[in-house]
Amino acid sequence: MAAEEKASILVVDDEPQIARVLKTTLASHGYSIRTARDGDEAVQLMKDWPPDLLITDLRMPNMDGLALCRHVRRGNSAMPIIVLSVRGEERTKVEALDAGADDYVTKPFSVNELLARVRAALRRAAASKQPEPEEAIAIGDFRIDLQGHRVHLKDQEIKLTPKEFDLLAHLARHPGKVITHRALLAAVWGANSTEQPEYLRVFIGHLRRKLEPDEKTPRYIVTEPWVGYRFNPGDEL
């Protein structure tokens, strides 16, 4: 059994039928599953049973999926979060990503697609826990501690979320080079996310707000129209 198939997953959905189908499907693939009806119940469950991955609906009574994502991220957890929703509009996706979700699946969804996204999320989470072949990237105005997940810009520490850190680290490994949207999406979110450009728009925006002296005229993360982004670390390039 693959390592990711031994993982524990918490499914949060107020529709019993969907929760039951997800529990049965995921359990049949070797995952340890628990379910909760809303964010409040999920928070209580996670106190004694911290899962490896969270799958949550967006629209629920009491604490909804957006509030649950924010709660998890406020606790500095890097646990992968996949959000489910019947709505596929870009605005809703952006709202979920802003709240801390790593991925987004629109209902109705293919079980095979969901399983692929679960496997990809767990693989990325496992890889992030492995020792890096390099300990830090020191270039231009930046020092990026890959093992400690810390970023310093001109000696000032910048607080980043796990996905923001992954995106910056990937850009920093290729200074001065244009990286296409698809390449960035595949590297940071996995091959199944290469058609989700809103992910990049949200997280590039986050990084610019935290890193750029003037986010409207960025100097570190430069847009190459219709192609991708170029990372200019500062004085060296």
pLDDT for 180 equals 86
Tell me, yes or no, whether 125 and 148 share the same domain.
Answer: no
Nearest CA-CA partner of 82 in 50, 90, 72, 74 = 72
Average model confidence (pLDDT) for the chain? 87
Is 35 within a domain?
A: yes
What's the Cα-to-Cα distance from 118 to each of 23, 104, 175, 232, rounded to whole Å? 13, 11, 31, 33
User: Which of the four pLDDT bands, split at 50, 70 and 90, describes residue 133?
Assistant: low
**The pLDDT of residue 49 is above 90:** yes
What's the Cα-to-Cα distance from 69 to each of 46, 49, 66, 74, rounded to whole Å? 13, 17, 5, 9
> Other CB atoms closer than 10 Å to residue 188's CB: what's the count?
22
The DSSP secondary-structure symbol of 213 reads S
Is 110 within a domain?
A: yes
With residue 136 as reference, give the H or E element that holds it: strand 136-139
Tell me, yes or no, whether 144 and 204 share the same domain.
Answer: yes
Is 201 within a domain?
A: yes
Tell me, yes or no, whether 70 and 46 share the same domain.
Answer: yes
Domain boundary among 82, 108, 129: 129
Domain boundary among 101, 129, 157: 129
Tell me, yes or no, whether 36 and 56 share the same domain.
Answer: yes
Tell me, yes or no, whether 23 and 125 share the same domain.
Answer: yes
Number of domains in the chain: 2
Better-scored residue on pLDDT, 212 or 93:
212
Measured CA to CA, the distance from residue 16 to residue 3 in angstroms comes to: 29
Q: What is the CATH number of the domain that holds 164?
A: 1.10.10.10
**The pLDDT of residue 56 is above 90:** yes
**The pLDDT of residue 69 is above 70:** yes
**The pLDDT of residue 131 is above 70:** no
Query: How many residues in the chain?
Result: 237
Is 146 within a domain?
A: yes
Better-scored residue on pLDDT, 97 or 193:
97
Is 169 within a domain?
A: yes
Q: What is the CATH number of the domain that holds 48?
A: 3.40.50.2300
Tell me, yes or no, whether 111 and 166 share the same domain.
Answer: no
**The pLDDT of residue 80 is above 50:** yes
Tell me, yes or no, whether 21 and 93 share the same domain.
Answer: yes
How does strand 228-231 pair with strand 103-106? unpaired
Portion of the chain with pLDDT greater than 70, in percent: 91
Q: pTM value?
A: 0.64
Average pLDDT over residues 72-88: 84
Is 163 within a domain?
A: yes
Tell me, yes or no, whether 203 and 100 share the same domain.
Answer: no
Tell me, yes or no, whether 8 and 91 share the same domain.
Answer: yes
pLDDT tens, position by position, 181-209: 888 988 888 777 767 778 888 999 999 99
Structural domain boundaries, residue 156: 136-231
pLDDT for 125 equals 80
pLDDT tens, position by position, 150-180: 999 998 999 998 889 999 999 999 898 888 8
Domain boundary among 108, 129, 150: 129
pLDDT for 3 equals 42
Is 237 within a domain?
A: no
Is 10 within a domain?
A: yes
Tell me, yes or no, whether 9 and 116 share the same domain.
Answer: yes
Tell me, yes or no, whether 36 and 117 share the same domain.
Answer: yes
Tell me, yes or no, whether 120 and 140 share the same domain.
Answer: no
Q: Are 80 and 87 in contact (CB under 8 A)?
A: no
Please, what is the end-to-end C-alpha distance for the chain in angstroms? 47
Which pair of structure tokens corresponds to residue 220? 């570190």
